[in-house]
Chains A and B, each alone.
Chain A
């Protein structure tokens, strides 16, 4: 059946082209309902091609009229270029068969451009509403144009409107999916950055490293802490590392386990590890939970840890006559 009508459609096309509008309302076509259907689909791509400029103008007008317009994030010229690119792709992709089927491979370019736009909008800090308005105002422009074109044919207009709606809806869904993906990427990147920033390894002295841990220690974080610390130990040839946990809100058995792992790894590398910054409440929980930290050197403050480290390296801090402090 399908095949037959396609053939019919293409056969009829040259003949009908000249009398397009009239044909659409002749009883003959109504009788051949299915043929009319094909004819109508051919129509859309042509209408769009023809009216592209108008659609773009309308779309731009809609966008500019909307109060969510973000001139601070993108100039109108840029917006126009972006919109034109998307519209071009859409007009080229739409044909007599795929209008109602946004999943069709023909729309790959459109979806690609759209995804690019929504991801970049997510990064630039557009709100979902602003991004939504962008694509949904295209629908308005399209429908307005169709209405204009098909004033005399309510039936076709209705059918086309439904399809355009469906198409734009699925573009809309796609836009939001990618928009959220874009946002998630931003979040992921920030998480990575925080993890990186929050594990600074500093050189306190020749051979002594300090690593202040701030925030909760989970296993992902421990991994980063460990890697950074061990890498730094190798690079600086340090033999003592001080882990300062005064910025860790709570030490439960899991955190303790992570700490112990870090210390074991440090020892395997051939360096000693001192834990400092044990606050009274941490001492309490550690003991209540029955965590054994007895074979780890623990100090209350970073200062006393440093003092201990100096002792291990057989260094002495003395008040000199001329200077404030020196070795």
Chain B
């Protein structure tokens, strides 16, 4: 799903919600996942002028979950460690986006180079 402008965010969130409901995720976990997704999509729009996202249903043993990938072709993040720190922001925002998103999901993976950034998050149904 391509994210080009702010208006794409709400449909994207709804799509994530659909998937979360489909695997029977609890409301709290749904909310956490969607909030994390919202943070990451916002980053993509703000720093990389958009990109595309991928929603997948994954399973590990008996546990189902949702994996979201956010791929952009922006300038990349220079210092990932610093970006993952609470309260650090290059854009005068709260600096909660990346670290907050990480706290909200079960698994968090970020890769970045000059060619762009890919963030993959996974939220298990019960976790």
Contacts and interface: CB of A to CB of B under 8 A. Distances in A.
A306 to B, nearest CB: 29
A254 B26 CA distance: 24
Interface string B103-127: 0000000000000000000000001
Interface string B1-31: 0000000000000000000000000101000
Interface string A226-251: 01000000000000000000000000
Contacts of A220: 127
A223 B127 CA distance: 9
Interface residues of A, number: 3
Tell me the interface secondary structure of chain A in the complex: helix
Interface in A192-235: 220, 223, 227
A209 to B, nearest CB: 19
A297 to B, nearest CB: 26
Nearest to B27: A227
B98 to A, nearest CB: 20
Nearest to A185: B62
Contacts of A227: 26, 28
Interface in B32-91: none
Nearest to B32: A223
A227 B27 CA distance: 10
B103 to A, nearest CB: 11
A48 B127 CA distance: 50
A65 to B, nearest CB: 38
Contacts of B28: 223, 227
Contacts of B127: 220
Contacts of A223: 28
Nearest to B126: A220
A223 B26 CA distance: 11
A206 B105 CA distance: 36
B59 to A, nearest CB: 15
Nearest to A227: B28
4 contacts: A220-B127, A223-B28, A227-B26, A227-B28
The 4 closest A-B pairs by CB, nearest first: A227-B28, A223-B28, A220-B127, A227-B26
Interface of B: 26, 28, 127
